[in-house]
Amino acid sequence: MKLPPFDAELNSKSNGVIFMDGTYLKVFAIPIETVHLFRDIESARIAFNSNGSLFYNLRYFEQVYWDDLKPFLNGNCSSSIEIVRRLINFYYMVTCHELSHNIDSNHDLNFINRLERVSARFMDQRDSFISTFGFQ
């Protein structure tokens, strides 16, 4: 799939969507200053962690979610919409994955155990977030 040229509106909206205007980061108590977006169309990388900061590739969001999500952004966009729930759950697991790398850098059994603990640790906060989330 060929990506469209960089679009400032898409960048702005996808930033808000991916991080739910900062609210989603409260699930993990992550300072917004440690979270960054980048757009690398050459890489298959979805996200990475460097020195405690998280980096999310807009390319993945654009390819996988943007077209399905775009029709809902002009009206009430809530977690009752399937694509929104899918997006929240996907980025929840990506964030858990990257946070787990703060402790275990390799993808080995220790990392898998850490990922399980991190995802279970924040699940109630995620569920609470999903139950109240909505864009206007």
Q: pTM for this structure?
A: 0.83
pLDDT tens digit sequence for 106-134: 999 999 999 999 999 999 999 988 888 77
Compute the C-alpha angle 107/49/96, nearest 5°.
Answer: 65
Name the phi and psi angles at 76, rounded to 5: -75, 115
Where do the structural domains in the chain lie, given as residue ranges?
8-135
As a whole number of angstroms, the distance between CA 44 and CA 37 comes to 15
Q: By CB neighbour count within 10 A (0-12 exposed, 13-18 middle, 19+ buried), where does 78 fall?
A: middle
pLDDT tens digit sequence for 64-96: 888 888 887 776 677 788 888 888 889 999 999
